[in-house]
Structure 1
Amino acid sequence: MSLSFYFKPFIYAFLLTLAITPLMIYFAKKLKFLDIPKDERRVHNKPMPIGGGFGMYLVISFLCLIYLEHDKPLWMLLISSTIIVFSGLYDDKWGLSPKLKFLFQIIAAIFLIIGGVKIEFFTNPFGAEDIFNLINLFSIPITIFWICGITNTINLIDGLDGLAAGISMICAISMFFITENMNHVAVTLLCALVAGSCLGFLPYNFNPAKIFMGDTGALYLGFIISFITIQGVMKQAAILMMFVPVLALGVPVFDTTFAMIRRKLQGKSIVEADKGHLHHRLLAKGLNQRQTVLTLYAISIIFGILANLIADFKSQTGLVISVLIIAIIILIGIYTGMITGKEKK
């Protein structure tokens, strides 16, 4: 398909989200869906409408029904994403424990697996035709781990106006070009819908924000992106394809991974909030909200370009380069204190 084929769905997603978000602001205020700052981690100082991600969910789901084939994977995606969204809505309004959040994510992941969305096999890049099949005993838990992991990475970086929406848009665009090159029409179209919807939400969410997407939106976007990565690249029989989405989602994946390791090393719960995320550190360096978000957009674009380049390499070359890139990122994480919590002087 030509790129122009995906332009109309992208524009529809953009315009519909642009149109529906003011309604989300109105109803959030009416129904008292408000984020009230309660601790020092919050960067806003007044109650803000929350749950704006519900509009993106409505738009993307509606356009999926129009543009995508009504097959089992689509119906399971719609059912599972609805579970994610309503758990997010409940959390935004009343609060939900981390354990219950994970439970809903696992249930949603199981629905995707029922729809045939799972990581099943990969090739040995250093052996000719060897294919390692992941029998269901391993395939299902690996798939659940991946879905829950990616779902939460977007949620955990949602700490500044426009950050999660912009990063999700950049990730969706990166995956758009990767999946389009692989001729995965349905997944590529979904990438266009996600990117368009995020772009339509940003005018209301970029600093100074008029509404937050909340867990409703952050968990939903993470969940949809996890679906895209599995259906788009991780069903390819090449272990290299495991690294492509990791790089495309570089900012949220590494920031979340480093946060979990850091908290563990400090004797804290891995789900305990702290101010050690990359955006907190950039703010501490003197950048304002807009500068911090734009800096992270730029880093995410670089990761996206790297992911697209890696996807075009031969398996062995791409694998070696991917490992080297990740090793460099880990060293940077150690040096800056992102992993250890202790910054080098």
Structure 2
Amino acid sequence: MSLVLIVATIALGFAITAVLAPLFIPYLRRMKFGQSIREEGPQSHQKKTGTPTMGGLIFLVSIALTTLLISYFFEMITTQTVVLLLVLVGFGVLGFLDDFIKVVMKRNLGLTSLQKLLGQILIAIVAYFLLQLGPFDTAITIPFTTWSIDFGIFYVAFIVFWLVGFSNAVNLTDGLDGLVSGTASIAFATFGIFAVLYNQNDAAIFAFAVTGALLGFLLFNKNPAKVFMGDTGSLALGGALAMLSIILKLELLLLFVGVIFVIETASVILQVISFKTRGKRIFKMSPIHHHFELSGWSEQKVVYVFWTVGFVAAFAVLVLEVMG
């Protein structure tokens, strides 16, 4: 895959998002698709009440169009392309239903946890069987080593766990203006580079389409955000990122490339365990980005620091993996 094609894919994803957003955001406002802000959260967030949500629809359309157009033009549409788009759109639909129920129907909890989980499991299983249409390795390599473990038929359980886990992890991270847009674009770009290095051009096109679309979305999602991606965007990104790591057979590297998502999720788990077992909280508030806000950091500082951590981790993984 040439550098020109990489740049063209990113540019197209960016351009489609940048054009769609100004058209779509006013529509979200007219439909009163405004975000409700938790009262127990940082007080500085209360001013965000009413900011349009479900903005993930904008970049989901951009990603799908960019991936299909570039893949079709260069004759690179494969089963893997279909699987990546299936997971992206499928998890996006779940997120949209969750957002719609919360925002439009005024049911604060949205989809129940069981409804959401069943939907995620179904999509993951369908993706697994589609991958079986071609040669597919069920072994998982330990990062930075030559060791691997073959899961065999149990790999389907791993796919379910990975997709559900990371879709929810990205969803938890989506709490500050531009936080997920930036960290996810870094992660997708990193896997895009790996895809190029491993000659998986179909996966590379998808990864760079997401990168461009998210950078375009960041124009409107950076502080102060004019639109939020909502569960529509965050669930879709998390599921697609996990599936991309699976297709590239770099599953466990996602723990490092997506280190911010892992830290955010771990902070919630540790907070719950600590409170239930000791009656005490470890953090002032979880996920951990709120802890730093309540410790006196500005929202922008938290976002910039987390972006930096994500970038350094992704760059280190690239260097170590290439050198290894």
TM-score category (smaller protein): 0.7 to 0.9
Q: 1:31–1:187: structure 2 CA closer, same or farther, 3 Å change rule?
A: same
Q: Deviation of residue 158 (structure 1)?
A: 0.3
Aligned to 1:145: 161
Aligned to 1:113: 128
- Greater relative CO, 1 or 2 (CA 8 Å, sep 6+): 2
Amino acid in structure 1 at the alignment position of 2:30:
K
Amino acid in structure 1 at the alignment position of 2:290:
H
Q: Deviation of residue 228 (structure 1)?
A: 1.2
- 2:130 and 2:115 map into 1 onto residues whose CA distance is 23
How do 1:77-226 residues align onto structure 2 when only pairs under 5 Å count?
77-94=84-101, 95-116=110-131, 120-122=138-140, 132-136=149-153, 138-226=154-242
Amino acid in structure 1 at the alignment position of 2:3:
L
Aligned to 2:293: 283
How do 1:170-319 residues align onto structure 2 when only pairs under 5 Å count?
170-234=186-250, 242-267=251-276, 275-314=285-324
- 2:248 and 2:6 map into 1 onto residues whose CA distance is 16
Deviations 1:21-57 (A, max 9, x none): 1222122122222112242226242211000000111
Q: 1:173–1:295: structure 2 CA closer, same or farther, 3 Å change rule?
A: same
- 1:144 and 1:40 map into 2 onto residues whose CA distance is 32
Amino acid in structure 1 at the alignment position of 2:92:
V
Which stretch has the larger CA shift, 204-213 or 1-10? 1-10
Structure 1: gaps of 5 or more residues = 235-241, 269-273, 315-345
% identical aligned pairs:
25
Structure 2: gaps of 5 or more residues = 102-109, 278-283
Deviations 1:180-234 (A, max 9, x none): 2222211122111111000000111101011100000111111111121111233
- 2:144 and 2:319 map into 1 onto residues whose CA distance is 20
Amino acid in structure 1 at the alignment position of 2:264:
D
Q: 1:294–1:123: structure 2 CA closer, same or farther, 3 Å change rule?
A: closer
Equivalent pairs counted in the alignment come to: 301
Q: Deviation of residue 127 (structure 1)?
A: 11
Q: Deviation of residue 111 (structure 1)?
A: 2.0
Q: Deviation of residue 123 (structure 1)?
A: 5.8
Deviations 1:46-90 (A, max 9, x none): 211000000111111112212223333333433343222122112
- 1:152 and 1:125 map into 2 onto residues whose CA distance is 23
Q: 1:119–1:52: structure 2 CA closer, same or farther, 3 Å change rule?
A: farther
Assess if the C-alpha contact under 8 Å between 1:34 and 1:93 holds in 2: no
- 1:111 and 1:124 map into 2 onto residues whose CA distance is 26
Runs of 4+ in structure 1 deviating by more than 4 angstroms, as ranges, are 123-128
TM normalised by structure 1 equals: 0.80
Any idea what SS the aligned residue of 2:249 has?
helix
- 2:100 and 2:141 map into 1 onto residues whose CA distance is 45
Which stretch has the larger CA shift, 148-157 or 60-69? 60-69
- 1:79 and 1:212 map into 2 onto residues whose CA distance is 23
Q: 1:259–1:210: structure 2 CA closer, same or farther, 3 Å change rule?
A: same
Assess if the C-alpha contact under 8 Å between 1:81 and 1:108 holds in 2: no
Aligned to 2:30: 30
Q: Deviation of residue 132 (structure 1)?
A: 4.3
Assess if the C-alpha contact under 8 Å between 1:80 and 1:111 holds in 2: no
